[in-house]
Amino acid sequence: MLAHKAAAENFPVALRLLPRRHRAHLMAVYNFARTVDDIGDEAPPDERLRLLDEIDDDLGRLYDAGPQGQPANQPRSPAVRGLSEVVTDCAVPLRCFRDLIDANRQDQVVTRYETFDELLGYCALSANPVGRIVLYVFGCSTPERAELSDAICSGLQIVEHLQDVGEDLRAGRIYLPAADMRSHGCTESDLAGQVASPQLRRLIAHETGRAAALINSGAPLVSQLRGAARVAVAGYVAGGRAAIAAIAFEHFDVLAGTCKPTRSRTARELTALLVRGR
């Protein structure tokens, strides 16, 4: 799930450069996303939906409590209580947080995606809300910027899935579109190897190109922002581009190689983005 891994990998790319208030809000969002993803991935399988429902109920309590909060109606989860100032200061819509929960609910019942469009529908729940929340945190959300952010976040989500093909398979999930697997002559057994087969490498190259196109289509968002917001969003894009470069460097073998971006490559991508704005 991007909500957790984007926070763990791409989220902090420029975090240390941001004002303290923004850092605090973004870390509260990270803690919430991490908690939800940990439930969806690591809790006992027969308890996951119940625990996700409890987090959802807690969100309702947070939003119903109002600006001052009502002691009798306080959320039970520390991760949800930690969002209190984010919600009050930034007016983030409830739907953004609930979509992240719904993505984890979907992970419990959907383990395969037939088409790329179906996968993008999943990204709309699991990844895009993170970018929209970031725009609210910086007070710069508009419908046009949200659409650009969605493209970036969907691309990042796909990159993360490509990096974790083997790990996802061991968890019983495949995020490579089945139609694309068939067209490249790739089967599920190819995903279980120690090294990527030629057909899997071709498939990964194809999906990497799609992810890059999405990120590049959203990258003009950087030029629309100023100050800390520009740095934060550029950090996302830089992290994604550096990850794509890492996958290509391993010749698209996501099973044998780590395919993780280096700090130096990420820093170069970030500098270039901040200079040219896309």
The answer to whether the beta carbons of residues 55 and 120 sit under 8 Å apart is no
Task: Give the class (CATH, top level) of 2-276.
Answer: mainly alpha
CA torsion through residues 227, 233, 234, 235, sign = positive
Contact 254, 160 (CB under 8 A): no
Cα of 36 vs its chain's centroid, Å: 13
Contact 20, 135 (CB under 8 A): no
Which are the contacts of 256, defined by CB distance < 8 A and separation ≥ 6? 194, 195, 196, 250
* Pair 184, 264: CB distance under 8 Å: no
Q: State the virtual CA torsion across 42, 161, 179, 102 in degrees, nearest 10.
A: 50
Residue 214 has pLDDT above 50, yes or no: yes
Angle between helices 143-163 and 116-126 (to 10 degrees): 110
Is the pLDDT at 15 greater than 90? The verdict is no
Taking 60 as the threshold, does the pLDDT of residue 10 lie above it? no
Q: How confident is the model at residue 18 (pLDDT cuts 50, 70, 90)?
A: confident
Q: Is the pTM of this model over 0.85?
A: yes
Rounded-to-integer distance, Cα 252 and Cα 100, Å: 29
What span, in angstroms and rounded, lies between the C-alpha atoms of 251 and 143? 38
Output Rg (C-alpha) for the chain, integer angstroms.
19
pLDDT (tens digit, 9 = 90+) per residue, 116-134?
A: 999 999 999 999 999 999 9
Predicted pLDDT at 1:
44
- Amino acid identity for residue 79 in this structure: A
Please give the residue that has the higher pLDDT: either 64 or 206: 206
What does the alpha-carbon distance between residue 259 and residue 266 come to, in Å, rounded to a whole number? 13
pLDDT at res. 244: 97
140-194 pLDDT tens trace: 999 999 999 999 999 999 999 999 999 999 999 999 999 999 999 999 999 999 9
Residue 68 has pLDDT above 80, yes or no: no
Query: Which pLDDT belongs to residue 89?
Result: 95
